[in-house]
Copies of this chain bind each other. A is one copy, B any other.
Amino acid sequence: MSRVVLKLGGSVVTEKDEPETVDTEALERVATAIGEWYTDERAAGTDLLVVHGGGSFGHHHAAAHGVSRETGSTDTQAVRDIHGAMQDLNEAVVGALADADVPAVPVHPFSAGYRTPEGLLFYPAEPTASMLSEGFVPVLHGDVVAHAGEGATILSGDELVVELAEGLGATRVGLCSTVPGVLDDADEVISEIVDYEDVADYLGESESTDVTGGMAAKVRALLGLRAAASVFGPDDVGPFLRGEEPGTVIRGE
């Protein structure tokens, strides 16, 4: 059995500079690539889970309410604004996938997880695993999450990818971003990363607090996974799903 976790970056599927606007064309393009693989080329027994980020839907609400991964809010308007916008974007992503014949179903992480007082995420994998077993393609999104002592904090799509890739035993992980991979200082794609030290010069110190989900935090988190993870641009969704390793492949030990 093979299990693929695919993240669609928020900036890939939304218009970055227009609040709550889907980039319909870009979304359709990646949905079509996913659909062609899913219906025609996917090996039997391979399942797929999709996670998407917030882009122009989640981020401005989070910023406006001063909510981050560490700093929460007990204001239910903040929770409803962020969650509601992400739910709208999720509906668009699920709809585009459905139009491409992918059996996509919506999953809202605020309903399913929480953080301990130390900020550790608790996210039971069984409900999502159960959807996969029934042949559905669960589509999760960056969201808010109840956080003991903080009200609700941000749960990013990247954090969900790492959590679920481990919890569900993913065999392959792909992050579709607006850039074609992890770039070195000459803006060339690094083909493989096996140790953070090898790329620390390009990405910054591993100590940096990267709350926005930038590349340094992504790479560090992906190095911790058992599965290999690829970072690639929108044109490489199809090649990744077909088993190639476009962009940058990140292999932890």
Q: Which residues of A contact B (CB under 8 A)?
A: 74, 76-77, 79-80, 83-84, 87, 91, 94, 98, 103-115, 122, 124, 126-127, 130-131, 133-136, 146-152
Contact = CB atoms under 8 A, between A and B. Distances in A.
B80 A98 contact: yes
Contacts of A104: 76
Contacts of A108: 108, 111
Contact of A151 (B107, B134, B150): B134
A149 B136 CA distance: 12
B127 A111 contact: yes
Contact of A136 (B79, B111, B126, B134): B79
Nearest to A115: B130
Contacts of A84: 91
With a 10 A CB-CB cut-off, give which of A76, A87, A103, A109 has the most chain B CB atoms: A76
Nearest to A133: B148
Contacts of A87: 87
A47 B168 CA distance: 34
A133 B151 CA distance: 9
A74 B87 CA distance: 22
B146 A131 contact: yes
B127 A136 contact: no
